[in-house]
A and B are shown apart, each in its own frame.
Chain A
Amino acid sequence: MTEQAVLEVYRYLPDDEAEPRFQEYEFAYKDNWVVLDALNHIKTEIDPTLSFRWSCRMGVCGSCGMMVNGEAKLTCEAYVRDYDTATIKIEPLTHFPVIRDLVINMEDFMAKLPTVSPWLIPAEDKALSDGEYLQTPAQMAHYKRFSMCINCMLCYSACPVYGLDSSFTGPAALALANRYNLDSRDDGQGQRADVVTAHEGIWECTYVGECTQVCPKGVDPAGAIQMLKLSYALDWAKSLVMPRGGKN
């Protein structure tokens, strides 16, 4: 049993048109379709010129993020039936430059990730012969949720601070810094300070909290940033009392 749906899709074809516009596509959809299925149907059956990113279609790769009726969503997790199918508006992720149609330029995001040194920085170098790093389930639980990021950038679209100032390091990158700071095998909190405690780092965040609301993996970047604020503020306070004591 199929129903009709209309997608109102943002089009931007700079080779042909200077201005973006919306294009309506009407089609029959199946009850179990997600918005990504609808877009693929449009591309294969109606309009092959439509461009968009996607890959795993199961919510783990982070490729298919778009604005669905003004909300940042993974289109592989947004069911068509959950919307008013008379018209569903599809736009590229906000706060990113549009290359074409629903494809955005993600270079700013990609450039920011490595700046927080997202790798283990142990206190001491350990030879292979010394064996593995040991970690209890409790120790892993401390950072686990912050390790679940799939780099989908929905949080950057939801964040008005980033929308107003693209030099803001942003939710995902800072949550990633917190993931490593909280890892018992890591001792790099001090080394991450330059980037994390720069003005464009944690201090620019005003805790709007929408990043956490849109995150499809429950990372809670807003919570991560507040933890970082407290942690680095306490580091600063400690440094007043003991200048070279504590973290490197």
Chain B
Amino acid sequence: MTTELTRPLPRSWWLQKSPYFQFMIRELTSLAVLAYSSLIVWALWSANDKGPFSTFFDFLETPLSVWLHMLVLVAALYHTGSWIALTPKVMVLWQDDEQVDPDLIAGANGILFLAITGVLLWLVL
């Protein structure tokens, strides 16, 4: 029989400290990824013989669609920022006995993101 005291972690643990809260928000951005995937699936079904595409396109022009997109955009950018910041942890590069500055790796990924965004927008628009 033990007199040891266990202190269970409360379910609200992630609300107690800012780093934990930011972590949980980061994880929940995956819901935005889910939401946009649904939009892509809807677009694909609207574009085939099951159309019409105009129903889908008309929705995109509604204020509701714009508001939802803004929410998803904020979440997506939070995901992008946090993901790029973590790339140096998986991408550990060495130059002889010195580690390549992690900020350089994150920065390079950031530039890659801007380049990809630019190319995509230029291609489509």
- Residues of chain A touching chain B, judged by Cβ–Cβ distance below 8 Å, are 12, 14-15, 20, 70, 94-95, 97-99, 105, 136-138, 140-142, 160, 163-164, 206-210, 213, 220, 222-223, 226-227, 229-230
Contacts and interface: CB of A to CB of B under 8 A. Distances in A.
B92 interface: yes
B49 interface: no
Given A70-B17, A209-B23, A98 B86 contact: no
B9 A160 contact: yes
Contacts of B13: 160, 163
Contacts of B99: 141
B4 interface: yes
A157 B13 CA distance: 12
A97 B94 contact: no
Q: Majority SS of interface residues in chain B?
A: mixed
A95 B4 contact: no
B86 A99 contact: no
Interface in B93-107: 94, 96-99
A223 B89 contact: yes
6 contacts: A98-B7, A140-B97, A141-B94, A141-B98, A160-B13, A208-B19
A149 to B, nearest CB: 17
Contacts of A208: 19-20, 23
A102 to B, nearest CB: 12
Contact of B19 (A105, A138, A213): A213
B86 A206 contact: no
Interface residues of B, number: 24
B20 A141 contact: no
B80 to A, nearest CB: 16
A230 B17 contact: no
Contacts of A220: 89
A160 B36 CA distance: 30
Given A164-B9, A227-B92, A230-B90, 17 more contacts: A70-B16, A95-B9, A97-B4, A98-B6, A136-B97, A141-B97, A141-B98, A160-B13, A163-B13, A208-B20, A209-B23, A210-B23, A222-B89, A226-B86, A226-B89, A226-B90, A227-B89
Among A98, A136, A137, A209, the most chain B Cβ lie within 10 Å of the Cβ of A209
B27 interface: yes
Contact of A227 (B16, B23, B90, B97): B90
Contacts of A207: 86
Given A70-B17, A141-B99, A227-B90, A206 B27 contact: yes
Contacts of A140: 97
A210 B19 contact: yes
B78 to A, nearest CB: 15
A241 to B, nearest CB: 21
Contacts of B86: 207, 226
Contacts of A99: 4
Contacts of B5: 12, 14, 20, 97-98
